[in-house]
């Protein structure tokens, strides 16, 4: 028979057993956790946690290959060659992407198919350094402006129509009447004209006011000397300062004309100012000339000055 004291102590033994069981359970949990962790990493009692691998160094980044597309030269473009073959000057300018693009590429020497010494085109440049080729050139197609004329009635066909448009607009806009005083001059006519100036002024003096044969814009049929008529027609020397001259200087570009020899440009053109001397270059180029603020064709096309022969 168990004594009361033994009965009283029995629970204390049970509590010891329970505490021991709990301790064993805790130890087992720790051991089990370590085993799981070891299974995920390096095994063995003395194993250390492995460091992550270092990134692989890259010596040079790869350079992507970019295909090079060769630029098509303007003169190799079908639109340009077709326009040149057609003889259509506005179409040629358009094929280059417009007048300013045309000017830039010609001035840069990137358009050898557009020679500036070919008088068949309105962009030809004739000056004391650039004679006509051939020297006795004459245009194939001539026209006769309906505008009043004092003398020299003929011009290159396209220029003739453009002069009529200018004269009609000047009258309609209140600037007064304008007449053609001198248009196309043949090589032989220029021989006589220049010879007369030499006789009066000497060779150096003649070179300031008259072109030598083969060096005259009049020989291209693209130049027009005009006079004011109020109501009678004056002389070339009287044109400057008239309302016709003022209107022409401001508006000639609208009809494809420029004032070729402006005041202050003698060092570039080689000629004293001639407000009456108009030069046809076509509406597209005349517009670019006006909008770009140019005063000589030499500057417009990036050519050297031509003050002397």
Please tell me whether residues 82 and 159 are part of one structural domain.
no
- Chain Cα centroid distance, residue 124: 19
Dihedral angle, C-alpha 113, 116, 117, 119, nearest 10 °: 90
CA angle 146, 175, 246 (to 5 degrees): 110
Residue 51's pLDDT band (cuts 50, 70, 90)? low
> pLDDT confidence of 153, banded at 50, 70, 90?
confident
Residue pair 117/133 in contact by the 8 Å Cβ criterion: yes
Q: How many domains does the chain have?
A: 2
For position 174, which CATH number holds?
3.30.1380.10
- Would you say the C-alpha torsion 34, 35, 41, 47 has a positive or negative sign? positive
For residue 301 the two structure tokens come to: 């096309």
Only one residue has tokens 């000057």, namely 89
Residue 152: pLDDT above 50? yes
Same domain, 220 and 149: yes
Tell whether 102 and 243 lie within a shared domain.
no
Structure tokens, 304: 């050297």
pTM: 0.77
Listed residue (227, 229, 225) closest to 257, CA to CA = 225
pLDDT at 63: 63
Distance CA 43, CA 218 (A): 105
Using one digit for the tens of pLDDT, what is the confidence trace for 241-295? Answer: 999 999 999 999 999 999 999 999 999 999 999 999 999 999 999 999 999 999 9
pLDDT digits (tens, 9 = 90+) for 84-138: 999 999 999 999 999 999 999 999 999 999 999 999 999 999 999 999 999 999 9
**207 and 106 part of one domain:** no
């Amino acid at each position: 028979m168990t004594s009361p004291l033994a009965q009283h102590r029995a629970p204390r033994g049970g509590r010891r057993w329970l505490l021991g069981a709990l301790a064993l359970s805790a130890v087992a949990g720790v051991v089990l956790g370590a085993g799981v962790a070891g299974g995920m990493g390096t095994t063995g009692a003395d194993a250390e946690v492995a460091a992550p691998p270092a990134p692989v160094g890259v010596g040079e980044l790869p350079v992507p290959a970019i295909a090079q597309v060769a630029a098509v030269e303007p003169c190799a473009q079908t639109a340009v060659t077709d326009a040149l073959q057609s003889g259509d000057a506005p179409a040629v300018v358009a094929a280059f992407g417009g007048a300013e693009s045309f000017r830039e590429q010609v001035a840069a020497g990137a358009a050898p198919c557009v020679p500036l010494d070919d008088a068949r085109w309105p962009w030809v440049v004739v000056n004391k350094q650039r004679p006509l080729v051939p020297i006795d050139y004459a245009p194939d197609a001539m026209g006769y402006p309906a505008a009043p004329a004092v003398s020299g009635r003929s011009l290159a066909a396209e220029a003739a129509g453009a002069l009529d448009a200018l004269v009609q607009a000047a009258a309609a806009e209140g600037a007064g009447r304008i007449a053609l005083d001198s248009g196309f001059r043949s090589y032989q006519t220029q021989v006589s004209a220049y010879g007369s100036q030499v006789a009066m002024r000497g060779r150096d003096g003649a070179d300031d006011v008259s072109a030598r044969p083969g060096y005259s814009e009049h020989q291209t049929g693209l130049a027009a000397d005009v006079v004011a008529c109020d109501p009678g027609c004056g002389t070339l020397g009287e044109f400057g300062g008239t309302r016709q001259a003022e209107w022409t200087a401001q508006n000639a570009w609208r009809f494809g004309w420029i004032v070729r020899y402006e005041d202050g440009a003698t060092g570039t053109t080689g000629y004293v100012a001639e407000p009456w001397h108009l030069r046809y270059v076509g509406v597209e180029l005349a517009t670019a000339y006006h909008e770009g603020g140019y005063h000589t064709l030499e500057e417009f096309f990036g050519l050297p000055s031509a003050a002397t022969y």
